[in-house]
Amino acid sequence: MPKMKSHSGTKKRFRVTGSGKIMRGKAYKSHILTKKTTKRKRGFRQEATVSSADRKTVVSRLA
C-alpha cells in the first residue's frame, strides 16, 4: 500500500509549535469589519490553540 497523503488544506491552516501544541487562526476577521471594534479586530490577529476535542482530528490530517 502507498503512504497516506497529508491533507493539504490542513497543512495551510494549522501549525505545530516546538512544544507540540497545534495553533490555528481566529475566525470572523475577513469581512464585515466596520461594525467590529478595533479592540476586537486586534484580538483576531493572535493565534489560538486547537481545543483538545479537535486535536485528534487535526493531527490525523497533518500526519
CA distances, 22 to each of 31, 33, 35, 36, 51 (Å): 25, 27, 30, 27, 9
Q: Which residues contact 38 (CB under 8 A, 6 or more apart)?
A: none
Name beta bridge partners: 23. 15, 49
Q: What is the pLDDT along the chain (63 residues), one digit of tens a residue?
A: 899 899 999 999 999 999 999 999 999 999 999 999 999 999 999 999 999 999 999 999 998
- Reported pTM: 0.83
What's the pLDDT at 47?
97
